[in-house]
Amino acid sequence: MNTDSRYPVVSAKWLKANIKSPNLIPADCRFSLIDHDYGKHSYINGHVPGAVFFDMEKDLSSPDKSLGRHPIPDIDAFSNVLQDRGISGQSVIVAYDDDGSGAARLWFLLEYFSLENGYVLDGGLSAWLKAGGAITAELPSIKKTKLQLKAKKHMIVEKDIIESNSSAFSLIDARSPDRYAGEYEPIDQIPGHIPNAMNIFWKNMLNEDGTYKSPEQIRSIFKEVGKNPVLYCGSGVTSCVNYIAMRIAGIEPKLYPGGWSHWVKAISEQ
């Protein structure tokens, strides 16, 4: 199946044209930090035909909160999650949500665990609806698969490496400017940001309709970034939007998945 795209995103028009392709699996990644049942309830009430649901807390994160609020899941656990949803090495997975971040998180995990056919629906569910896409409450029939994953460990950087080689990286905080500045902190116990990090808000990657900006626009946003960019946010979710944007722009970043939630937890335990 040709996505006709070099980028990690596909259009709603493309998804409509390929929705009945046997290898295509839409993936509903809607979630809310303040209501953990929001995504599941939204999926049950209506989703893209054939879509399977991924829960941010249960499926896209490890339960080991010593590594932050949403740690990268264990390879075997994530493999089981994918197999339970009928995903194989031949599947083309198109992740979508209603704000951009949940789908980006699934895409990052697919890429990290060496599944190359993962994409994000550009503009999310609203783009699908605007394109005349159907919504259904019917649950898909799923046949469990066999799948082997391999982690691309070069895609991530952990706290100890950042601390011991701080001058080697350009840290980019994807959180909102007020959280970066420590003026507002609704979740983590300590406000502020990692020393020497610059702030590039994840929502600046998106147009008003939720689609990603052009490669030229994204390169302009990141023009002041130095060598070896490392992205982080609160817990490795919204920073994945910046990760995808940089890929679109032809820039290869790394991710600190624990983010601020892991950084401040480590500080408080010292």
Q: Tokens 């995990």 correspond to what residue?
A: 109
Q: Tokens 């691309």 correspond to what residue?
A: 152
Q: Indicate if 233 belongs to the active site.
A: yes
Q: Give the C-alpha separation, 243 to 230, whole Å.
A: 9
How many angstroms separate the Cα of 151 from the Cα of each of 60, 62, 113, 199, 229?
Answer: 15, 15, 4, 28, 20
Using alpha carbons, select from 3, 31, 228, 249 the residue that is nearest to residue 116. Answer: 3
**Phi, psi (deg, nearest 5) at residue 100:** 105, -25
Environment class of residue 43 by beta-carbon count within 10 Å: exposed (0-12), middle (13-18) or buried (19+)? buried
Number of residues written out for the chain: 270
Q: Which amino acid makes up residue 198?
A: M
Tokens of 204: 């600046």
Q: Of 233, 240, 241, 249, which one is the catalytic site residue?
A: 233
Q: Tokens 């959180």 correspond to what residue?
A: 175
| Buried/exposed code over 169-187 (b: 16+ C-beta within 10 A; e: otherwise) | bbbbbbbbeebbeeeebee
Count CB-CB contacts under 10 A for residue 26.
Answer: 21
Q: Which residues are catalytic?
A: 233
